[in-house]
């Protein structure tokens, strides 16, 4: 499996972002797992990443991307004009990650937190790794 997105399953912003990605991925390229899941934990260990619920992780072609790198790699593969955001790769990673970390730090305050991980609807359940 090539394109895996690990996300914070109890974060409302993260869950909404997954829904956003699914709507813009008609070829069903992306697969998903929460960072809290057994699959998520296994992949973090496999790629020697710390458990960090403040970062989305994108795994593609046996390489793991975190934070703004992950977000931009994902945008690059979405249908529509979202590829334009990939131009932000020209901004140095430390600068991009300052913005990323600010949003990540405040996401629960701004968007709320669920009591449990999102449960995918039957039509998209096959895209979630268990």
d(CA 77, CA 24): 9
To the question of pTM greater than 0.85 for the whole model, the response is yes
Q: How far is CA 19 from CA 89, 94, 107, in A?
A: 24, 28, 16
d(CA 61, CA 117): 27
| Residue 105: half-sphere exposure toward Cβ, Cα within 13 Å | 6
**Do the beta carbons of residue 88 and residue 33 sit within 8 Å?**
no
Share of the chain above pLDDT 70, in %: 93
- At 30, give phi and psi (nearest 5°): -90, 145
Of the candidate ranges 13-27, 58-72, 77-91, 107-121, the one whose mean pLDDT is the lowest: 107-121
| Rounded (5°) CA angle 78-19-120 | 130
Residue pLDDT, tens place only, 113-129: 887 666 667 777 788 88
Helices (H), 25-130: 38-46, 67-76, 93-111
Closest CA to 17 of 69, 66, 75, 92: 75
d(CA 72, CA 85): 7
Domain boundaries, the chain: 3-124
Residue pLDDT, tens place only, 24-64: 998 899 999 999 999 999 999 999 998 777 789 999 999 99
């Amino acid at each position: 499996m090539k394109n895996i997105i690990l996300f914070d399953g109890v974060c409302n912003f993260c869950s909404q972002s997954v829904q956003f990605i699914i709507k813009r991925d008609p070829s069903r390229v992306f697969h998903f797992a929460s960072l809290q899941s057994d699959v998520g934990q296994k992949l973090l260990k496999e790629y020697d990443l710390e458990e960090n619920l403040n970062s989305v992780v994108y795994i593609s072609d046996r390489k793991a991307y975190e934070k703004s790198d992950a977000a931009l790699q994902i945008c690059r593969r979405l249908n529509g004009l979202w590829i334009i955001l990939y131009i932000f790769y020209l901004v140095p990673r430390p600068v991009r990650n300052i913005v990323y970390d600010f949003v990540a730090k405040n996401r629960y305050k701004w968007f709320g937190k669920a009591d449990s991980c999102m449960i995918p609807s039957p039509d998209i359940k096959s895209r979630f790794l268990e």
